[in-house]
């Protein structure tokens, strides 16, 4: 047994010898081999390191707090919440202390000042420690970059929703607005403070949306084309130069939705096989022949815009009485306008013995539509 004795390297009092156990913790002499005694330790011990006061800039519009060089959303309900948040950010607790607990009592002493009375407890060297500090928090109400931009109608990108040879439907326009809101919400959720919609305007031929970044404009237009088909073109306009002399561009994304949408009934110009009920406008137009029930797909060159005229829509169809199914290729129904029996083509989606069928009367005559679209 090695009977060794150790002494406090500062005052010379005997201390328990913990050499070799990694016990030395003189804050003034890191790496010292022997612990200083409790008395010397507590002479220098500082439980809490707190600033004399805290100045915090809060956006009066959205409650964001300025930290470092940027504005941060802290989700605070009121200025007291902000003060608590900032105090806990600014405090440092001595690393040796275990079981740290703290309470804080805010005291509002004016419209812009909150006194934070903080009470701390903990344990160090088997000794309970406590400390009270009062930190005044001064709040400066300002306007953050984002709220300033929103107030100034700032935008970096325009999304135009248009359609080829027609006006976009209400459904398409409403969907565009929802898509834009969802994209902005998703970006906000990841902490992006620069995502917002500046302005949405319905025009005679569609919808214009001014948005805060090019990225948002691009996402909205791509998503529209993904859902509805069509194309998007972007064009840059130089609006200004930044501090480094680099061009700052505003990008316009022009979405052109396809001329025909699912549910449209169209008559192809160079073709005498009868009307087509459109089922998809993604890529090449696809649909069903109303005379036969056969599938139709436009060629690559025609894409989503084959030469055609629109006869009507699925929604224009009316239910009419079947007089008789004559054979595989023909069916006799009542004309919904004249109530005269008429023999028309029987497409293969018509059952053997239906009582009624949905029909569309158009410039191209009377046609049976499929039941489910
Ligand atoms: Zn000592
Ligand atoms: Zn703000």
Q: 147 alpha carbon to ligand 2 midpoint, in Å?
A: 4
Q: 35 alpha carbon to ligand 1 midpoint, in Å?
A: 9
- Residues 274 and 364: beta-carbon distance below 8 Å: yes
Residue 5 has pLDDT above 90, yes or no: no
The pLDDT tens digits of the residues spanning 55-81 come to 999 998 888 899 888 898 887 778 888
Whether this prediction's pTM lies above 0.85 is answered by no
pLDDT value at residue 174 = 97
Q: Cα 129 vs. chain centroid, distance in angstroms?
A: 47
Window from 25-34, 89-98, 177-186, 286-295 with minimum mean pLDDT:
25-34
Q: 223 alpha carbon to ligand 2 midpoint, in Å?
A: 28
Q: 146 alpha carbon to ligand 2 midpoint, in Å?
A: 6
Q: 61 alpha carbon to ligand 2 midpoint, in Å?
A: 5
Give the pLDDT band of residue 360 (cuts 50, 70, 90). Answer: very high
Higher local confidence (pLDDT), 201 or 238: 201
Q: 248 alpha carbon to ligand 2 midpoint, in Å?
A: 24
Number of H helices, E strands in the chain: 5, 25
Q: Cα 20 vs. chain centroid, distance in angstroms?
A: 56
**Would you say how long the chain is, in residues?**
373
**Which residues face 67 on adjacent strands?**
70
Q: Which ligand is nearest to the CA of 57?
A: 2
Q: 106 alpha carbon to ligand 2 midpoint, in Å?
A: 24
Q: Provide the H-helix boundaries in the chain.
A: 38-44, 79-90, 145-151, 170-189, 214-228
Q: Which ligand is nearest to the CA of 64?
A: 2
Residues near ion ligand 1 (Cβ under 5 Å): 8, 10-11, 37, 40
Q: Which ligand is nearest to the CA of 13?
A: 1
Q: Which ligand is nearest to the CA of 34?
A: 1
Q: 193 alpha carbon to ligand 2 midpoint, in Å?
A: 9
Q: 315 alpha carbon to ligand 1 midpoint, in Å?
A: 93
Q: 121 alpha carbon to ligand 1 midpoint, in Å?
A: 24
Q: Residue 368: which H helix or E strand, with range?
A: strand 365-368
Q: Which ligand is nearest to the CA of 148?
A: 2
Q: 37 alpha carbon to ligand 1 midpoint, in Å?
A: 4
Residue 163 has pLDDT above 80, yes or no: yes
Q: 59 alpha carbon to ligand 2 midpoint, in Å?
A: 5
How far apart CA 154 and CA 141 sit, in angstroms, is 22
Q: Which ligand is nearest to the CA of 43?
A: 1
Q: Which ligand is nearest to the CA of 61?
A: 2
Q: 38 alpha carbon to ligand 1 midpoint, in Å?
A: 7
- Residues 306 and 270: beta-carbon distance below 8 Å: no
How far apart CA 270 and CA 138 sit, in angstroms, is 77
Residues near ion ligand 2 (Cβ under 5 Å): 59, 61-62, 64, 144, 147
pLDDT value at residue 288 = 96
Give the pLDDT band of residue 371 (cuts 50, 70, 90). Answer: confident
Q: 71 alpha carbon to ligand 2 midpoint, in Å?
A: 8
Q: How many CA atoms lie less than 13 Å away from 4 in the CB half-sphere?
A: 9
Rama region for 319: left / alpha / beta (φ>0; ψ in -120 to 50; rest): beta
How far apart CA 69 and CA 144 sit, in angstroms, is 12
**Which residues face 305 on adjacent strands?**
none
């Amino acid at each position: 047994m090695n009977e060794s004795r150790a002494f406090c390297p500062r005052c010379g009092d005997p201390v328990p010898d913990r050499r070799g156990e990694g016990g030395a913790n003189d804050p003034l002499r890191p790496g010292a081999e022997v612990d200083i005694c409790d008395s010397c330790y507590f002479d220098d011990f500082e439980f809490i390191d707190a600033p004399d006061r805290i100045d915090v800039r809060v956006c009066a519009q959205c409650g964001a707090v300025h930290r470092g060089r940027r504005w941060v959303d802290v989700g605070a309900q009121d200025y007291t919440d902000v003060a608590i948040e900032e105090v806990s950010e600014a405090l440092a607790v001595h690393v040796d202390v275990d079981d740290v607990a703290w309470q804080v009592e805010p005291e509002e002493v004016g419209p812009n000042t909150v006194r934070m009375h903080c009470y701390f407890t903990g344990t160090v060297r088997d000794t309970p420690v406590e400390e009270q500090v009062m930190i005044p928090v001064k709040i400066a109400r300002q306007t953050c970059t984002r709220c300033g931009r929103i107030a100034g109608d700032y935008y970096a990108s325009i999304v135009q929703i248009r359609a080829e040879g027609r006006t976009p439907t209400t459904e398409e326009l409403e969907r565009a607005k929802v898509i834009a809101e969802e994209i902005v919400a998703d970006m906000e959720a990841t902490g992006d403070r620069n995502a917002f919609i500046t302005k949405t305007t319905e025009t005679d031929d569609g919808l214009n949306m001014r948005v805060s970044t090019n990225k948002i404009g691009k996402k909205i237009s791509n998503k529209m084309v993904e859902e509805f088909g069509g194309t998007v073109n972007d064009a840059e306009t130089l609006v200004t130069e930044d501090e480094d002399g680099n061009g700052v561009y505003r990008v316009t994304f022009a979405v052109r939705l396809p001329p025909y949408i699912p549910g449209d009934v169209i008559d192809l110009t160079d073709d005498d096989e009868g009307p087509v009920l459109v089922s998809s406008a993604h890529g090449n137009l696809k649909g069903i022949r109303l005379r036969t029930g056969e599938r139709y797909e436009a060629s690559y060159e025609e894409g989503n815009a084959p030469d055609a005229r629109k006869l009507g829509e699925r929604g224009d169809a009316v239910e009419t009485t079947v007089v008789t199914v004559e054979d595989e290729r023909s069916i006799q129904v009542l004309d919904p306008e004249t109530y005269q029996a008429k023999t028309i083509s029987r497409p293969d989606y018509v059952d053997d013995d239906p009582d009624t069928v949905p029909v569309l009367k158009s410039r191209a005559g009377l046609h049976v539509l499929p039941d489910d679209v």
